[in-house]
Amino acid sequence: MTDHSYKFHPTILREYDIRGIVGETLSTADANAIGRAFGTIVVRQSGKGTSICLGYDGRTTSPDMEEALCDGLTSAGVDVIRIGRGPTPMLYFAVYHLEADGGIMVTGSHNPPAHNGFKMMMGHKSFFGEDIQRLGKMCADGDIEVADTPGQFREHDLKEAYLEELAAACAPVGELDAFRVAWDAGNGSGGEMMAELVKRLPGEHILLNEEIDGSFPNHHPDPTVAENLVQIQDVVREQNLDLGIALDGDADRIGVVDGQGRILWADQLMALLARDVLADNPGATIIADVKSSQLFFDEVARLGGKPIMWQTGHSLIKGKMAAENSPFAGEMSGHIFFADRYYGYDDALYAGVRLLGVLTRTGKSLAELFDELPIFINTPEIRIDCPDERKFDIVAEIRDRLKADGADVDDIDGVRVSVDGGWWLLRASNTQAVLVARCEAKDTAQLETLKTALREALNTSGIDASAV
């Protein structure tokens, strides 16, 4: 009897996806095993005739990973629809558009060039958390199906259908105003789609780093880090453009700068986009993660919506959206989700076009809308080293101590402590050996008070708080 057991490096099976360093913790053999196990799960759930969409990003290692993944899927009896290279949201779109039973995207997202990984869908739902752990156990136990007749694969080019969907994002606004916009793909896998999309939009569009290059030669493809937005800020200012829109490495996260080159962080952008959604969906439930500014929750409430604070993580946000029938959600990492006239997944290009629709509908510049938002002072995301085996216990210990002291604590995801209109947050990262913190206040004096309280909480639990 053939032994189908297979063990992964213990670090690659993450909370939201599977991710590692190629040649060190991740290999094409891993990709093949993932395909075999995922295919087994799908066949057992859906039966034979199951189809899975498969895509890959622009990293140099992605084509080989995709090939090995395809081999694994077909060996389990799954038919594979190979959509080729492109952004992660195009893979999500393929699953809906082609009515497939699931999908897998080979992508390292915004991580360094040597990294790669896999984002998965089972039906229209994210495949994460316990699902990924179950996949790992199936491989370790050799609990794998080998089909008598392997599945087939075919290639399907749906770029045109995806572009049509993106270009229609401005409806019901109609024709967009002719904006002057800089777009930065960061040499990520959204570059080609970005270049084609802007041809369908009115106005003047300046393309930056649209050529897909897995070495990311110009800057790291993460628009939530200020230094990665310097290039687009300079272009917007020098050419007197209306705004700039930046994508991460696989184009599911967005960064934005206004016509003055000021960065709108994701929660500020979400507050503006929520206006448009609530105009068409009065009283709707709007969701943001626990790291988001109080500005967002206050603005949604002011507009008549029902704001909900939820756990960080794109898979968790998508699940909560479905449970609450929410038309819109987002998180500080730049994942923005529209179920209003779209499918409910995170797509930076779609969010960018929706933003242009907001500007058209309001008749105001992005800078003007930005200036209308309330002002809060906050820290960036602070990362504090903490051993993996202690990080969750530390947060629980601090939570219990604060609650015993009568503090105003929200523990939906870590500890968020509210104090006189300000707050500080501490949570354990699901993907790294760190604690993640953030503080927000009405003024600089209160911000220092909150940071002191955070440091004291960490020091009492024996954690070095010098990074705060």
Retrieve residue 370's tokens. Answer: 């930005």
Retrieve residue 259's tokens. Answer: 């016509």
CA 227 to the chain's CA centroid: 19
Cα 244 to Cα 59: distance, rounded to the nearest angstrom: 25
Residue type, 316: L
Sign of CA dihedral 279, 292, 373, 240: negative
- Which letter does DSSP use for residue 213 in this model? -
What angle in degrees, to the nearest 10, is found between the helix axes of 88-97 and 348-362? 90
Cα separation values, 31 from 39, 65, 219, Å = 12, 6, 28
| Radius of gyration over every alpha carbon of the chain, rounded to an integer in angstroms | 22
Cα separation values, 159 from 62, 162, 231, 350, Å = 19, 5, 28, 14
Cα 415 to Cα 428: distance, rounded to the nearest angstrom: 9
Retrieve residue 411's tokens. Answer: 């523990």
Cα 209 to Cα 194: distance, rounded to the nearest angstrom: 10
Locate tokens 């970005």: which residue? 194
Retrieve residue 462's tokens. Answer: 């024996």
Cα 281 to Cα 13: distance, rounded to the nearest angstrom: 38
Contact 31/68 with Cβ under 8 angstroms? Answer: yes
Retrieve residue 117's tokens. Answer: 């990984």
Catalytic residues: 109
Maximum Cα–Cα distance for the chain, whole Å? 70
Give the helix/strand (H/E) hosting 274: helix 266-280
Residue type, 169: A
Cα 309 to Cα 329: distance, rounded to the nearest angstrom: 10
- Contacts with 456 (C-beta within 8 Å, 6 or more apart), sequence order: none
Contact 467/459 with Cβ under 8 angstroms? Answer: no
